[in-house]
């Protein structure tokens, strides 16, 4: 019992230590006083008995707290209520939440900045009757297992970025079946929201969500927009083109849904079996990329210490790792959920087999019990997004036009290789954006994030994979989808605008808001209004204008009229002739960087 009580004190110490408390709300959490029940007088702490250091409830709502989820609460073993609502907490909800808060009855994390997935293990917190996760930045599916929480009555996941279907909570008359508990998640469907099973339902869902408004607005603007720079399609039937773009968005959406459905019907469980640590398929993956040992990865990241976290994405947390030789790696530790199994395999089976100067080198993988890791070469200049839109404007670094052109050139070169020259066949990336463009020490761009990639036409017969599709129709739609997304990237480089902010602040889906953004900036009468001010008047205006024309071509609503990446590359090369970008890119493929990659792989391979 005494150990338990000491643990409750340590629990609060750890919570205080892990949270940033700029408004000093926790100032009376003073651990010098050791009398029985002293912690029960801390603000926000309630005990089972006022004279016993045994914590019952922790209520830290509305205190302006920052930091990550305080995992130290696992030491408060008798805790039943945790309220962290209305703070500025970020990062993932721990995947082992059921161990941390096993006997909890009430968990309120609403109105924070939590991201990543809702961990499946919450379904093991079987005493929960209140679970509020609304107003965060959570992504992925609502784990269907939550339907097993039979005490749950107060539930909300509203205003996140969740997708897929609402779990089947049965016929209960409380917040579980209240539409408001799910509102503000554009891609959620299923009772009490719109059904999500068939195409018609998808269409209605999409339509109701603003397609009519978006379509009408776009149609009206389209008559005047692009007149000066993107005239080729003005005389065409705008309606059909917008509809085609809409349909291609629907196709993409359906592909994502199909994956979820197969996940829910258990097909992905098969995939999970395939990826079992010692399965034949895992050995096949090991033929493609080096299989690495958990203990070495753990050692290289100092036991995955928080100090080594580079960033947290939708699929997992990325750590910087240092090998004993001093070589640097980036290790993506996937969140503990089956949802990303397909991303994991796709990334391995595509990127794992591709080697090009403008693709990030995937060096290895690791599967350890339920955990999965992807290991890349470390790119010391991070991602393009952070350079173009630094979180702290004071630390903004200027990237000049020749460098932006070099980046555009490198990315288009990588895409041309994927579409036209790649040894596998025709590979489409489908998720090109500034966040997935990594920059090496000499700012050579490397395309990353192949979790959505697809192989359209295979040159090889040795590998049957889930991402393989052979159809002219899909090839046309998806190759041109890459071209479209590359056009958006060019516009981002030219204007300095952040397209993701537009998607967040708009009622439309991602693609709709991007298209609207393109319309909006093209509408401006003066070209100089839209160009990043830091680029204007430095002798590059004509080049910027020429690349803007290319961007406009790439984002044509009608995919047939978009150029191929090969055509795009040729124009960029011509425009950038005087900067000798071709030569600079080839110079980057120096013997030093190439050999170090081979050396790293060899070294890590021998570490198993
Ligand atoms: N090889 C690498 N070298 C250096 N930094 C990397 C590397 N790979 C990823 N990162 C960085 O790690 C962070 C997380 O990357 P990750 O790909 O998981 O997420 P993301 O690209 O930010 O978003 P999302 O998962 O939503 O696509 C990002 O800041 C990314 O730039």
For residue range 396-419, list pLDDT tens digits in order.
678 999 999 999 999 999 999 998
Angle, in degrees to the nearest 10, between helices 341-349 and 280-288: 40
In 370-503, beta strands by DSSP E: 371-377, 425-428, 437-439, 445-447, 454-458
Report the atom number in ligand 1 closest to the C-alpha of 316.
18
Q: Which of 116, 301, 310 to mutate to test the pocket of ligand 1 (most atoms within 8 A of CB)?
A: 310
Angle 439-444-447 from CA coordinates, rounded to 5° = 60
Q: Which of 375, 435, 447 to mutate to test the pocket of ligand 1 (most atoms within 8 A of CB)?
A: 435
Residue 101 and residue 75: Cα distance in Å, rounded? 9
Strands 66-68 and 309-312: unpaired
Q: Identify the bridge partners of residue 290 per DSSP, sorted by sequence position.
A: 364
Atom 24 (ligand 1): residue with closest C-alpha? 313
- pLDDT at res. 287: 53
Atom 28 (ligand 1): residue with closest C-alpha? 311
- Burial-class residue 172 by CB neighbours within 10 Å (0-12, 13-18, 19+): exposed
Going from the Cα of 445 to the center of ligand 1, the distance in angstroms, rounded, reads: 14
Q: How far is CA 571 from the centre of its chain?
A: 31
Report the atom number in ligand 1 closest to the C-alpha of 310.
12
Residue 380 and residue 446: Cα distance in Å, rounded? 12
DSSP assignment string, 268-332: HHHHHHHTSTT-HHHHHHHHHSEE--HHHHHHHTTTT-GGGEEEE-SSEEEEEEE-TTS-EEEEE
Going from the Cα of 436 to the center of ligand 1, the distance in angstroms, rounded, reads: 7
Going from the Cα of 514 to the center of ligand 1, the distance in angstroms, rounded, reads: 22
- pLDDT at res. 502: 65
DSSP assignment string, 494-506: HH---HHHHHHHS
Complex confidence, ipTM:
0.97
- Beta-carbon contacts of 453 under 8 Å, excluding residues fewer than 6 positions away, are 346, 347, 350, 351, 427, 428, 429, 430, 431, 467
Q: With contact defined as beta carbons under 8 Å apart, do 121 and 95 qualify?
A: yes
Residue 210 and residue 512: Cα distance in Å, rounded? 10
- Does residue 470 carry a catalytic annotation? no
Percent of residues in the chain assigned helix, strand, coil, to nearest 5: 45, 15, 40
- pLDDT at res. 215: 36
Going from the Cα of 563 to the center of ligand 1, the distance in angstroms, rounded, reads: 29
The ligand 1 site (C-beta within 6 Å) comprises 310-311, 313-316, 318, 330, 332, 360, 376, 378-379, 382-383, 435-436, 438, 448-449
Going from the Cα of 114 to the center of ligand 1, the distance in angstroms, rounded, reads: 17
- 577 annotated as ligand-binding: no
Higher-confidence position of 107 and 314: 107
Q: Is the pLDDT of residue 593 over 60?
A: no
Largest CA distance in the chain: 82
- pLDDT at res. 513: 59
Report the atom number in ligand 1 closest to the C-alpha of 312.
14
- pLDDT at res. 221: 37
Residue 122 and residue 101: Cα distance in Å, rounded? 9
- Average pLDDT, rounded, for the chain: 76
Angle 589-574-428 from CA coordinates, rounded to 5° = 60
Question: Residue 333, SS3?
Answer: strand
Atom 22 (ligand 1): residue with closest C-alpha? 313
- 156-160, 567-571, 603-607: which range is least confident on average? 603-607
For range 312-328, the mean pLDDT: 88
For the stretch 40-90, pLDDT in tens is 999 999 988 888 888 999 999 999 999 999 999 998 888 889 999 999 999
For the stretch 542-579, pLDDT in tens is 899 899 889 988 988 778 889 999 999 999 999 998 88
Q: What percent of the chain has pLDDT over 90?
A: 32
- pLDDT at res. 596: 47
Phi, psi of 114 (to 5 degrees): -65, 140
User: How many Cβ atoms from other residues are within 10 Å of residue 20's Cβ?
Assistant: 12
- 149-158, 237-246, 483-492, 508-517: which range is least confident on average? 237-246
Q: Which of 21, 178, 386, 431 is catalytic?
A: 431
Tokens representing 407 are 């980046």
- pLDDT at res. 149: 85
Give residue 208's pLDDT band: very low, low, confident or very high (50, 70, 90): very low
Going from the Cα of 212 to the center of ligand 1, the distance in angstroms, rounded, reads: 35
Report the atom number in ligand 1 closest to the C-alpha of 332.
18
H or E element that contains 94: none
User: How many Cβ atoms from other residues are within 10 Å of residue 446's Cβ?
Assistant: 23
Residue 90 and residue 116: Cα distance in Å, rounded? 10
Residue 72 and residue 19: Cα distance in Å, rounded? 10
User: How many Cβ atoms from other residues are within 10 Å of residue 199's Cβ?
Assistant: 9
- 326-330, 350-354, 406-410, 434-438: which range is least confident on average? 350-354
H or E element that contains 532: none
Atom 23 (ligand 1): residue with closest C-alpha? 313
Going from the Cα of 337 to the center of ligand 1, the distance in angstroms, rounded, reads: 19
For the stretch 341-394, pLDDT in tens is 777 877 887 788 788 899 998 888 888 877 889 999 999 999 999 999 987 766
Question: Residue 140, SS3?
Answer: strand
Rounded to the nearest 10 degrees, how much is the dihedral formed by the CA atoms of 40, 41, 46, 48? 30
Going from the Cα of 311 to the center of ligand 1, the distance in angstroms, rounded, reads: 6
Q: How far is CA 518 from the centre of its chain?
A: 23
Report the atom number in ligand 1 closest to the C-alpha of 380.
4
- pLDDT at res. 339: 64
Atom 1 (ligand 1): residue with closest C-alpha? 378
Q: Is the pLDDT of residue 197 over 80?
A: no
Q: What percent of the chain has pLDDT over 70?
A: 69
For the stretch 37-48, pLDDT in tens is 899 999 999 988
- pLDDT at res. 233: 39
For range 591-597, the mean pLDDT: 39
Report whether the peptide linkage leading into residue 192 is cis, meaning its omega lies within 30 degrees of zero.
Answer: yes
Give residue 177's pLDDT band: very low, low, confident or very high (50, 70, 90): confident
Residue 400 and residue 533: Cα distance in Å, rounded? 11
Q: Which of 139, 313, 447 to mutate to test the pocket of ligand 1 (most atoms within 8 A of CB)?
A: 313
How far is the first Cα of the chain from the last one, in angstroms, to the nearest whole number? 43
- pLDDT at res. 243: 40
Atom 14 (ligand 1): residue with closest C-alpha? 311
- pLDDT at res. 247: 39
Atom 19 (ligand 1): residue with closest C-alpha? 313
Q: With contact defined as beta carbons under 8 Å apart, do 315 and 334 qualify?
A: yes
Report the atom number in ligand 1 closest to the C-alpha of 383.
31
Going from the Cα of 476 to the center of ligand 1, the distance in angstroms, rounded, reads: 29
Going from the Cα of 313 to the center of ligand 1, the distance in angstroms, rounded, reads: 6
The H-assigned helical ranges of 117-211 are 199-206
Atom 29 (ligand 1): residue with closest C-alpha? 311
For the stretch 510-540, pLDDT in tens is 555 556 666 666 665 466 777 888 898 899 9
CB hemisphere CA count around 578 (13 angstroms): 7
Q: Is the pLDDT of residue 126 over 70?
A: yes
Atom 7 (ligand 1): residue with closest C-alpha? 330
User: By C-alpha distance, which of 600, 578, 570 is closest to 377?
Assistant: 600
- pLDDT at res. 511: 52
Q: Is the pLDDT of residue 288 over 70?
A: no
Q: Which of 117, 138, 311 to mutate to test the pocket of ligand 1 (most atoms within 8 A of CB)?
A: 311
Check residue 280 and give left, alpha or beta (phi > 0: left; psi -120 to 50: alpha): alpha
For the stretch 465-519, pLDDT in tens is 444 444 565 567 788 889 989 999 999 999 888 877 765 554 444 555 556 666 6
Q: Which of 116, 363, 382, 389 to mutate to test the pocket of ligand 1 (most atoms within 8 A of CB)?
A: 382
Report the atom number in ligand 1 closest to the C-alpha of 449.
17
Higher-confidence position of 202 and 448: 448
For the stretch 91-106, pLDDT in tens is 999 998 988 887 888 9
Atom 17 (ligand 1): residue with closest C-alpha? 313
């Amino acid at each position: 019992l005494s150990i338990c009580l000491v643990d409750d004190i340590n629990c609060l110490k750890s919570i205080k230590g892990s949270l940033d408390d700029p408004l000093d709300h926790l100032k009376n959490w003073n651990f010098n006083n050791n009398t029985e029940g002293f912690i029960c007088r801390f603000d926000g702490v309630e005990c089972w008995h006022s004279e016993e250091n045994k914590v019952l409830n922790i209520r830290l709502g509305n205190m302006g707290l920052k930091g990550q989820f305080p995992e130290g609460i696992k030491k408060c073993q008798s805790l039943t209520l945790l309220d962290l609502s209305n703070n500025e907490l970020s990062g993932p909800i721990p995947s082992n939440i059921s161990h941390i808060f096993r006997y909890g009855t009430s968990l309120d994390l609403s109105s924070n900045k939590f991201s990543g997935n809702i961990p499946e293990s919450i379904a093991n917190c079987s005493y929960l009757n209140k679970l509020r996760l609304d107003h965060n930045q959570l992504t992925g599916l609502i784990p269907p297992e939550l339907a097993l929480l039979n005490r749950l009555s107060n539930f909300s996941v509203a205003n996140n970025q969740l997708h897929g279907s609402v779990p089947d909570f049965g016929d209960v008359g409380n917040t579980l079946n209240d539409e408001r508990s799910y509102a503000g998640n554009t891609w959620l469907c299923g009772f009490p929201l719109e059904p999500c099973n068939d195409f018609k339902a998808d269409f209605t869902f999409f339509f109701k969500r603003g397609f009519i408004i978006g379509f009408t607005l776009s149609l009206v603007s389209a008559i005047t927009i692009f007149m000066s720079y993107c005239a080729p399609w003005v005389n065409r039937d705008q309606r059909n083109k917008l509809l085609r773009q809409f349909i291609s968005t629907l196709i993409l959406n359906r592909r994502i849904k199909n994956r979820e459905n197969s996940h829910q019907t258990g097909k992905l469980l098969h995939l999970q079996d395939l990826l079992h640590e010692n399965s034949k398929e895992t050995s096949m993956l090991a033929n493609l990329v080096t299989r690495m040992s958990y203990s070495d990865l753990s050692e290289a990241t100092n036991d995955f210490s928080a100090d080594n976290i580079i960033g947290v994405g939708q699929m997992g947390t990325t750590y910087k790792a240092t090998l004993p030789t001093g070589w640097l790696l980036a290790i993506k530790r996937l969140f503990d959920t089956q949802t990303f199994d397909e991303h994991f395999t796709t990334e391995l089976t595509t990127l794992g087999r591709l080697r090009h100067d403008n693709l990030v080198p995937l060096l290895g993988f690791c599967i350890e019990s339920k955990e999965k890791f992807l290991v890349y070469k470390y790119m010391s200049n991070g991602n393009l997004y952070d350079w173009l839109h630094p979180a702290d404007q004071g630390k903004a670094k200027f990237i000049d036009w020749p460098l932006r052109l070099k980046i555009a050139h490198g990315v288009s070169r990588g895409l041309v290789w994927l579409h036209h020259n790649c040894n596998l066949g025709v590979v489409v990336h489908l998720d090109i954006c500034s966040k997935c463009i990594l920059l090496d020490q000499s700012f050579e761009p490397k395309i990353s994030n192949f979790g959505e990639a697809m192989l359209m036409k295979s040159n090889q017969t040795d590998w049957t994979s889930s991402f393989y599709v052979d159809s002219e129709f899909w090839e046309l739609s998806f190759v041109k989808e890459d071209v479209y997304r590359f056009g958006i990237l060019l516009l981002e480089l030219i204007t300095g605008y952040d397209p993701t902010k537009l998607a967040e602040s708009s009622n439309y889906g991602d693609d709709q808001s991007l298209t609207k953004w393109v319309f909006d900036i093209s509408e401006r009468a003066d070209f100089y209004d839209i160009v990043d001010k830091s680029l204007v008047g430095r002798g590059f205006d004509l080049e910027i204008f020429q690349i803007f024309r290319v961007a406009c071509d790439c984002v044509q609503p009608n995919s047939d009229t978009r150029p191929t990446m090969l055509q795009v590359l040729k124009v960029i090369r011509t425009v950038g002739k005087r900067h000798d970008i071709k030569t600079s890119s080839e110079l980057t493929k120096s013997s030093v960087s190439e050999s170090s990659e081979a050396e790293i792989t060899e070294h890590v391979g021998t570490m198993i």
